[in-house]
Structure 1
Amino acid sequence: MAREADKRRSAERRGRRAERLAAFYLRLKGYRILATRFKCHAGEIDIVARKGDLAIFVEVKARRSEQLAIDAVTASAQRRIRSASDIWLSRQTDAHRLSQRYDIIACLPGRLPLHFPGAF
């Protein structure tokens, strides 16, 4: 039982590290980070970023391979992220001007993050 709790804590730390790295990477690419770990009753969004009139909702996955990271964003996860993004947008005064995009950032061991714009 304690071993499972240790694994969960380790995975949580790895995920938070990956999210910080992904946010830093997006900043370097010219994105403005508006929110991290946005949570609501519909779900959670790891990173909400903006570039011009484009709102980007980013799911970050720390995995051993690119394909494992992409496959980890299941159809149900995509639905939750889209629902949460609708709520986030409804709270923005300029939402009517914003286009939306859903990205995945894969954080792989020993590599720069891989950014997949418009992944779903």
Structure 2
Amino acid sequence: MRVQDKRPKDPSGAARKRAERRGRWSEYLAAAYLLSKGYRIVALRYKTRSGEIDLIVRRGDLVVLVEVKARATQQSAVDAVSFESQRRIRAAGDLWLCRQPDASRLSIRCDIVAVLPWRWPRHFSGAF
């Protein structure tokens, strides 16, 4: 017996488009927030075969791989980054790092930025 999905079908893909727009807006908001904290944006939506990194930012010799999550609460944003996502982000970060000429002197960290409704983004340093 097959369980049917209770969600209504969306043939136009409007819900997916809204989610995509919200994700992009959240990434730009997170980038602006990190700029205000003194980071330099190195890459937006960096894609590799291993996965995608929402933001790569840098401050001095520190490179930060940032996963941006737009959720209603901080806890749900942090919980939304699964172990599989963490593995993919780290693998993509390793690929990015090996392509950098100054890779030997760089240190790398993985953070989460939670974009919450009607609040400033929340930055979780060293989240994973």
Structure 2: gaps (5+ residues): 1-8
> Among 47, 52, 57, which residue is 2:60 paired with?
52
- Structure-1 separation of matches of 2:59 and 2:97: 15
- Tell me the C-alpha RMSD between the 2 structures: 1.0
- Structure-2 separation of matches of 1:49 and 1:93: 16
TM-score normalised to the size of structure 2?
0.91
Q: Percent identity?
A: 57
- Structure-2 separation of matches of 1:76 and 1:4: 30
Q: Alignment partner of 1:2: what SS?
A: coil
Structure 1: gaps (5+ residues): none
Higher-Rg member (1/2): 2
The reply on whether 1:111 has 2:109 as its aligned counterpart is: no
- Structure-2 separation of matches of 1:8 and 1:67: 23
Structure with the higher helix share, 1 or 2: 1
Deviates more, 1:4-13 or 1:110-119: 4-13
- Structure-2 separation of matches of 1:47 and 1:116: 14
Aligned length: 120
- Structure 1's consecutive aligned runs of 4 or more residues displaced over 2 angstroms after TM superposition are 1-4
- Structure-2 separation of matches of 1:48 and 1:110: 25
- Structure-2 separation of matches of 1:46 and 1:3: 28
Gap change, CA 1:42 and 1:106, over 3 Å in 2: same
- Structure-2 separation of matches of 1:92 and 1:4: 41
